[in-house]
A and B are shown apart, each in its own frame.
Chain A
Amino acid sequence: MSDESKPASGDSAGLLNGHVTHCDPKTRRVNEAARSLHPSAVKDLLSLGVCERCILRLITVATFDSDLATVSSSTLRGWLGSGVEEAASPETSICIVCLGILQFVFSDDKQTLVKMKSDCGSGHAAWITDLVKQQGHEFDSFGLEVSLPSTISENERAVFDEAWLQSEKVSVKDALKVLVLDPLRASLGAKSDSSSFHIRLTYSKASDDAQGVSETTHERKKRKTDVVYADEENGSSCISENPFEKVYEPCILSVHCNQMPIFFSGRYFKYSRNVSQSRWIIDDERMGEASVEEIIGGSILPACLGDSYKFHAAGREDIDVRMLGSGRPFLIEVQNSRKCPSQQSLTEIEEKINNSEKKLVGVKDLKFIGSECWAMMREGEAEKQKQYAALVWISRPLEEEDCNSISSMIELKTPIRVLHRRSPLERERTIHWMKLEKIKGNTHYFLLHLCTQAGTYIKEFVHGDLGRTTPSMGSILGCRAEIIQLDVTDVKMGDS
Chain B
Amino acid sequence: MEIQKTEVAKNPETDDTIETTKQNQSEEEVEHCDEQKQEEDELRSVLLSDIGDLPLTPPSATQVNFVSYFITDFTKPGHDQYIYRHANGLCVIGLAPTHIAFKDEGGITNIDFNVGKSDRSVLKVSGKRKKNAMRSESNTALCKVSTAKDSYIVRCCVKGSLLEVNERLIKQPQLLNSSADREGYIAIIMPTRPADWTKNKESLITLEEYKAKKEVSL
Contact = CB atoms under 8 A, between A and B. Distances in A.
Interface of A: 273, 324-325, 389, 391, 393, 395, 400, 403-407, 413, 416-424, 433-442, 444-445, 447, 459, 463-467, 480, 482-485, 487, 489
Given A424-B125, A424-B126, A440-B4, A482 B61 contact: yes
A80 B157 CA distance: 89
22 contacts: A389-B43, A393-B57, A395-B57, A403-B8, A404-B9, A416-B188, A421-B88, A422-B128, A424-B125, A437-B5, A437-B7, A438-B4, A439-B4, A440-B1, A442-B54, A447-B47, A463-B60, A465-B61, A467-B168, A467-B182, A467-B183, A483-B61
Given A467-B168, A482-B60, A482-B61, A423 B127 contact: yes
B107 interface: no
Contacts of B90: 416, 419-420
A415 B3 CA distance: 33
Contacts of B89: 420
B46 interface: yes
A487 B49 CA distance: 12
B120 to A, nearest CB: 14
A445 B1 CA distance: 13
B6 A403 contact: yes
A435 B7 contact: yes
Contacts of A403: 6, 8-9
Contacts of B10: 404-407, 433
A413 to B, nearest CB: 8
Residues of B contacting A: mostly: loop
A419 B48 contact: no
Given A424-B163, A447-B47, A466 B6 contact: no
A465 B185 CA distance: 11
Given A405-B9, A433-B10, A466 B46 contact: no
Given A416-B188, A424-B164, A440-B3, A435 B65 contact: no
* 6 A-B pairs closest in CB distance: A467-B183, A463-B61, A435-B9, A420-B88, A403-B8, A440-B4
B130 interface: yes
Nearest to A459: B61
A436 B126 CA distance: 37
A489 B128 CA distance: 31
Interface in B1-21: 1-13
B86 interface: yes
A440 B166 CA distance: 39
Nearest to B164: A424
Interface in B166-194: 166, 168, 175, 182-183, 185, 188, 190
Chain A CB count within 10 A is highest, among B6, B9, B90, B127, for B9
Chain B CB count within 10 A is highest, among A389, A405, A420, for A420
B13 A393 contact: no
B51 interface: yes
Interface of B: 1-13, 43-44, 46-48, 50-51, 54, 56-62, 65, 86-90, 92, 125-128, 130, 163-164, 166, 168, 175, 182-183, 185, 188, 190
A417 B88 contact: yes
Contact of B128 (A273, A421, A433, A437): A421
Contacts of A422: 128
B43 A325 contact: yes
B190 A420 contact: yes
A336 B28 CA distance: 48
A407 B10 CA distance: 8
B47 A464 contact: no
A393 B6 contact: no
Contacts of B185: 466-467
B65 A417 contact: yes
A436 to B, nearest CB: 7
Contacts of B7: 435, 437
B145 to A, nearest CB: 17
A354 to B, nearest CB: 15
A436 B6 CA distance: 7
Contact of B182 (A389, A405, A445, A466): A466
A409 B2 CA distance: 33
A473 to B, nearest CB: 12
A162 B126 CA distance: 56
B47 A439 contact: no
A20 B56 CA distance: 105
A483 B190 CA distance: 26
A416 B86 CA distance: 8
Contact of A424 (B130, B166, B175): B130
Given A416-B188, A433-B10, A482-B61, A466 B4 contact: no
Contact of B46 (A324, A391, A442): A324
Contact of B58 (A393, A419, A441, A466): A393
B16 to A, nearest CB: 12
A437 B190 contact: no
Given A433-B13, A463-B61, A391 B51 contact: yes
Chain B CB count within 10 A is highest, among A406, A419, A442, A465, for A419
A275 to B, nearest CB: 13
B93 to A, nearest CB: 11
Contacts of A438: 3-6
A433 B15 CA distance: 12
Contact of A434 (B5, B9, B44, B127): B9
